[in-house]
C-alpha cells in the first residue's frame, strides 16, 4: 500500500548518513510496495551499488523505449539528464519520469547548447543555403532542445549503434551534415564509410564562423562540432601499444567516442551494446583491452571471469562518468520513498512543443 501523502517532500539530507546496505534493504522494500507501478532503469555506466536495483539495463535509447512500452506509472532513470528527457519524450502522458539527482548531467551534451547551435546555423546560412544543403544530426547524448532543433530543420537523431545508417540517410537528402555534439563519433563513423578526412572540418563553437573559412565550409561534406566525452578522451594510442607489447595475442575494442587514433589502433570499434556482445561471444580464455567507461568494464570482467576471459580497462588512470556517478543509493532511495509517501521529486518534463519537435527527429531515426 502507498502511504498517505505528506505535505512536503522528505529531505535528502536525512539519507546522507545511510550506508549502501541500509539503502539496499529499503529500496527492495519500496520496490515490493510499488510493484509494477515502478520501473527502475539502469544505464550500463551506472555504479554497481545502484545498477543492481535496475529492473532493466541497457543504453539510453533502449531503456527509454522499454519504459514507454511498460505498464509502469513511475519511471526512475538511473542515468543522466538527457536520458531522462528522452524517456519523457517517448513515454505516455500518464507516465512520470524521475531522475534521482538533477546534478547528473553530461559534459559532452553541455558542449552544444541551443544558443551555440542556432548561432552556428545562422553563420553557416551566411555561406550556404542551409535548409537545402545541410542536415543537422544530433547524437542522442544531447539536450531535448537540440533534438527539437533537428526536428524543425529536417534533421535527425543518431546513436553510436546506428550512426552509419543515419549519415547515409542524411547524405542521400542533402550534400552536407552538421554533426553534434561529439566530433569523434562523427569522424570515426564517416571514415569507416570511406569518407576522407579532408572532407571533414571541425566547427569550433568558441570562434566566429567556427574558425573556418568560407571555402572550407563550401568544400566540407561533414561539419563536426568540437565536442567530446571526457571519459573516452582519457584513452591514448600509447595505452594500446604498451598493452599489446605485453599481451600480443590480446584484442582491443573501443567505443567510437574515443579518438580517431585510438579507434584506428583498435581491432573492434562499436557501441556499448556491441562491446558487451562481442566480449560475450568471444572464445573462452581470450584477453581484451576495452576503451569505454570503467563501471561497465569492471562488470564485464566479473561477468566473464569464470570463462577465463581477461577484460582490462584501457587507461592507467581511473576515469568513470563522474556525472552519472552522482546517482547513488541514497538519492535513489530518497526518490523512491517520496513516491511511497505520495510525493514526486525531480520529475523530468520536456515542454510539449519542444517534445513534439524532438519526437519527430527521434521518429525519423526509429523509422530507419
From 196, 215, 230, the end of a domain falls on 230
The predicted model gives 26-30 an average pLDDT of 97
Residue 359: is its pLDDT beyond 70? yes
Measured CA to CA in angstroms, residue 157 lies from 106, 151, 349, 355, 363 at distances of 17, 9, 19, 13, 9
Closest CA relative to residue 272, chosen from 300, 302, 238, 304: 300
Q: What is the pLDDT of residues 142-175, one digit of tens each?
A: 999 999 999 999 999 999 999 999 999 999 999 9
Are residues 220 and 241 located together in one domain of the fold?
no
Tell me, yes or no, whether 139 lies in a domain: yes
Number of domains in the chain: 3
Same-domain pairing of 208 and 302? no
Name the domain boundary from 230, 248, 275.
Answer: 230
Average pLDDT rounded to a whole number, residues 245-266? 98
Same domain, 75 and 122: no
DSSP annotation string for 100-150: S-TT---HHHHTS-HHHHHHHHHHHHTTS-HHHHEEEEEESSS-HHHHHHH
Please give the Cα distance from 45 to 24 (Å, whole number).
19
Q: What is the pLDDT of residue 202?
A: 98
200 with 263, same domain: the answer is no
pLDDT band at 5 (very low <50, low <70, confident <90, very high): very low
Q: Is residue 81 located within the same domain as residue 162?
A: no
Share of the chain above pLDDT 90, in %: 89
State the average pLDDT over residues 248-263: 98
Distance (Å, whole) CA 185 – CA 167: 11
Q: Which domain holds residue 29?
A: 12-105+324-350
Q: Do 68 and 119 sit in the same domain of this protein?
A: no
- Does the residue 78 lie in any domain? yes
- Condensed to tens digits (0 to 9), the pLDDT of residues 199-234 reads 999 999 999 999 999 999 999 999 999 999 988 999
What distance in Å separates the CA atoms of residue 339 and residue 333, rounded to the nearest whole number?
Answer: 10
115-136 pLDDT, tens digit per residue, is 999 999 999 999 999 999 999 9
Predicted local distance difference test score (pLDDT) of residue 240: 98
Strand partners for 58: 43
DSSP 233-290: GG--HHHHHHHHHH-TT-EEEE-TTS-HHHHHH-SEE--HHHHHHHHHHSPTT-EEEE
Q: Cα separation of 155 and 276, whole Å? A: 30
What CATH number did the domain enclosing 184 receive? 3.40.50.10800
Taking residues 27-54, what's their average pLDDT?
Answer: 95
Among all chains, which residue has been given the C-alpha cell 552522482? 326
Residues 128, 101 share a domain = no
Bridge-based pairing state of the strands 38-43 and 176-180: unpaired
- Per this entry, what is the length of the chain? 368
Per the prediction, the chain carries an average pLDDT of: 94
User: Which residue, of 181, 209, 230, is where some domain finishes?
Assistant: 230
The average pLDDT across 242-247 equals 98
Average pLDDT (62-80) is 95
Q: 216 with 114, same domain?
A: yes
In three-state secondary structure terms, 55 is: coil
Residues 157 and 224 occupy one common structural domain: yes
Confidence class of residue 105 from pLDDT cuts 50, 70 and 90? Answer: confident
pLDDT beyond 50 at 4: no
2 lies in some domain: no
Give a yes or no: residue 341 inside a domain. yes
Does one domain contain both 31 and 71? yes
pTM confidence score: 0.93
pLDDT band at 2; cut points 50, 70, 90 = very low
**Whether 83 and 113 share a structural domain:** no
Confirm whether 6 is domain-assigned. no
Going by pLDDT thresholds of 50, 70 and 90, the confidence category of residue 293 is very high
Site of grid cell 531522475: 99
Q: Does 35 share its domain with 139? A: no
Domain presence at residue 135: yes
Q: Residue 367 falls within a domain, yes or no?
A: no
Rounded average pLDDT over 77-98:
96
Distance CA 79, CA 87 (A): 11
Question: Which pLDDT tens digit goes with each residue over 319-345?
Answer: 667 677 789 999 999 999 999 999 999
Residue 363, pLDDT above cutoff 80: yes
Q: What percent of the chain lies above the pLDDT cut of 70? A: 97
In a domain, 82, yes or no: yes
Interval 253-278 mean pLDDT: 97
Q: Strand, coil or helix: what is 158?
A: strand
Q: Please check the confidence at residue 32 and state whether its pLDDT lies above 90.
A: yes
Q: Tell whether the model's pLDDT for residue 138 goes beyond 80.
A: yes
3-state secondary structure of 161: coil
Amino acid at each position: 500500500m502507498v502511504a498517505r501523502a505528506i505535505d512536503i517532500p522528505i529531505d535528502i539530507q536525512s539519507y546522507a548518513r545511510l550506508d549502501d546496505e541500509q539503502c539496499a534493504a529499503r529500496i527492495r522494500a519500496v520496490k515490493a510496495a510499488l510493484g509494477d507501478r515502478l520501473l527502475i532503469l539502469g544505464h550500463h555506466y551506472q555504479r554497481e551499488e545502484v545498477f543492481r536495483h535496475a529492473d532493466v539495463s541497457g543504453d539510453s535509447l533502449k531503456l527509454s523505449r522499454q519504459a514507454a512500452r511498460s505498464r509502469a506509472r513511475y519511471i526512475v532513470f538511473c542515468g543522466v539528464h538527457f536520458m531522462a528527457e528522452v524517456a519523457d519524450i517517448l513515454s505516455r502522458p500518464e507516465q512520470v519520469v524521475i531522475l534521482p539527482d538533477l546534478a547528473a548531467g553530461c559534459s559532452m551534451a553541455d558542449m552544444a547548447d541551443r544558443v551555440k547551435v542556432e548561432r552556428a546555423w545562422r553563420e553557416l546560412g551566411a555561406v550556404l543555403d542551409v535548409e537545402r544543403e545541410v542536415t543537422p544530426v544530433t547524437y542522442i547524448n544531447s539536450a531535448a532542445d537540440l533534438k527539437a532543433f533537428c526536428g524543425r530543420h529536417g534533421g535527425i537523431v543518431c546513436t553510436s549503434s546506428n550512426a552509419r545508417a543515419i549519415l547515409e540517410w542524411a547524405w542521400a537528402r542533402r550534400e552536407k551534415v552538421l554533426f553534434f555534439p561529439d566530433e569523434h563519433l562523427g569522424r570515426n563513423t564517416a571514415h569507416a564509410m570511406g569518407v576522407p578526412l579532408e572532407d571533414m572540418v571541425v566547427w569550433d563553437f568558441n570562434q566566429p564562423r567556427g574558425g573556418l573559412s568560407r571555402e572550407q565550409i563550401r568544400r566540407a561534406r561533414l561539419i563536426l562540432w568540437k565536442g567530446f566525452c571526457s571519459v573516452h578522451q582519457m584513452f591514448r594510442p600509447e595505452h594500446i601499444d604498451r598493452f599489446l607489447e605485453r599481451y600480443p595475442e590480446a584484442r582491443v575494442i573501443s567505443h567510437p567516442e574515443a579518438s580517431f587514433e585510438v579507434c584506428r589502433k583498435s581491432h573492434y570499434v562499436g557501441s556499448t551494446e556491441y562491446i558487451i556482445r562481442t566480449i560475450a561471444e568471444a572464445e573462452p580464455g581470450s584477453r581484451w583491452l576495452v576503451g569505454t567507461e570503467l563501471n561497465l568494464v569492471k562488470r564485464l570482467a566479473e561477468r566473464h571471469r569464470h570463462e577465463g576471459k581477461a577484460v582490462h580497462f584501457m587507461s592507467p588512470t581511473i576515469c568513470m562518468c563522474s556525472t552519472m556517478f552522482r546517482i547513488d543509493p541514497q538519492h535513489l532511495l530518497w526518490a523512491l520513498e517520496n513516491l511511497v509517501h505520495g510525493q514526486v521529486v525531480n520529475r523530468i518534463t520536456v515542454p510539449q512543443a519542444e517534445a513534439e519537435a524532438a519526437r519527430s527527429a527521434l521518429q525519423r531515426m526509429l523509422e530507419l
